[in-house]
């Protein structure tokens, strides 16, 4: 059985991420969605919140599990016997960045392949940072993420929910 790893900060998980997961679940025997914890990165959601939101969002896929790591993704992939790293690509800018990352990963772990999977076309502009910006402006993001993610973002960022002085 081929094990694939789909890693990211998932701060928060978006419909674009889930589009990649759906494709991967059809292609591979097992997919591990890995929440990458980078202490140097300023995230809105805690690691536990991100893991819980991803777990809920992928629960309908029996061959998808969720984990987290603070280490290198290639090290995690090796440790679980994965042979493929998955990367979502939205457009040309992502492709350039992701190609450089894939080359670095290949240098570290030549036995692990990287596969790029594009999100569905209507989700090409969906990003975690974009979701946070929209919610901060009081916009509805329900078309771009699961309901639990939208609720968590509104709780943290929606100006209309902040208490007035």
Residue numbering of the annotated binding site for ATP: 9-10, 17, 88-90, 98, 123-129
CA-wise closest residue to 78 among 45, 34, 46: 34
Q: Which residues are annotated as a binding site?
A: 9-10, 17, 41, 73, 87-90, 98, 123-129
Does 116 sit behind a cis peptide bond, omega within 30 degrees of 0 on the bond before it?
no
Name the residues annotated as catalytic: 17, 41, 90, 128
Sheet of 64-69, strands arranged across: 64-69, 30-36, 3-8, 84-89, 113-118
Contact 160, 141 (CB under 8 A): no
Contact 26, 155 (CB under 8 A): no
């Amino acid at each position: 059985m081929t094990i694939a790893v789909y890693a990211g900060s998932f701060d928060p998980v978006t419909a674009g991420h889930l589009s990649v997961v759906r494709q991967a679940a059809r292609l591979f025997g097992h997919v591990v969605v890995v929440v990458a914890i980078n202490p140097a990165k300023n995230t809105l959601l805690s690691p536990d919140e991100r893991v819980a939101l991803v777990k809920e969002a992928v629960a309908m896929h029996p061959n998808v599990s969720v984990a987290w790591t603070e280490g290198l993704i290639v090290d995690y992939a090796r440790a679980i016997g994965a042979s493929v790293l998955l990367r979502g690509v939205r457009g040309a800018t992502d492709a350039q960045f992701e190609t450089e990352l894939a080359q670095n990963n290949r240098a570290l772990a030549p036995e692990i392949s990287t596969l790029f999977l594009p999100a569905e076309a209507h989700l090409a502009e969906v990003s975690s940072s974009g979701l946070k910006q929209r919610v901060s402006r009081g916009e509805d993001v329900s078309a771009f993420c699961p309901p639990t993610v939208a609720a968590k973002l509104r709780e943290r960022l929606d100006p209309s929910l902040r208490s007035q002085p």
